[in-house]
């Protein structure tokens, strides 16, 4: 179960990374042999949201999604779904998913996933500060009928 959670974590980090961020951390020596099981393809998906975070679902809109599936020489498969149309980025994310499933991939995790996760946390923190700075606290004034 812990391996499942770890994989969910790195898939989330990869899905939220930009192509430039991923390439900045990509080791130049990393050139594994793999084959495409499902070439990167772009489609459309519908986004759902909830009112107030807890209410009824509603359709927020549509977005493009690119997915890819690769297989390493040892048979391990890697998958990716990213928002947008960058097919090369989807393929790199799928390749990393496959490589990270190996128990000896701790170096890759430290070199790629950890910095990308830290950048994502910083991005979320900046966004929450931005939202908090525009927050308006409403209060009720009691008017006297004098």
pLDDT of residue 68: 96
| pLDDT tens-place string over residues 98-140 | 999 987 788 888 999 999 999 999 988 998 888 888 777 666 5
Closest Cα to residue 58, out of 47, 68, 70? 47
Contact (CB, 8 A) for 82 and 15: yes
| pLDDT tens-place string over residues 70-93 | 999 999 999 999 999 999 999 999
The two three-digit tokens of residue 45, written as one number: 């998906």
The rounded distance, in Å, linking the Cα atoms of 102 and 71 is 13
Place of tokens 């966004």: 127
pTM score above 0.85 = no
Q: Give me the half-sphere count of Cα atoms (radius 13 Å) on the Cβ side of residue 135.
A: 8
């Amino acid at each position: 179960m812990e391996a499942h959670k770890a994989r969910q974590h790195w898939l989330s980090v990869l899905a939220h990374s930009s192509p430039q961020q991923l390439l900045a951390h990509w080791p130049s020596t990393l050139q594994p042999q793999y084959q495409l099981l499902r070439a990167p393809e772009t489609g459309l998906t519908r986004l759902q949201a909830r009112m107030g975070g807890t209410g009824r679902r509603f359709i927020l809109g549509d977005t493009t999604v690119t997915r890819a599936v690769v297989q390493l020489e040892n048979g391990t498969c890697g998958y990716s779904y990213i928002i947008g149309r960058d097919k090369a980025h989807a393929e790199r994310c799928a390749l990393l998913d496959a490589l990270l499933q190996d128990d000896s991939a701790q170096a890759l995790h430290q070199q790629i996933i950890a910095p990308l996760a830290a950048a994502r946390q910083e991005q979320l923190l900046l966004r929450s500060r931005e939202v908090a700075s525009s927050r308006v606290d409403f209060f009720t004034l009691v008017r006297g009928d004098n």
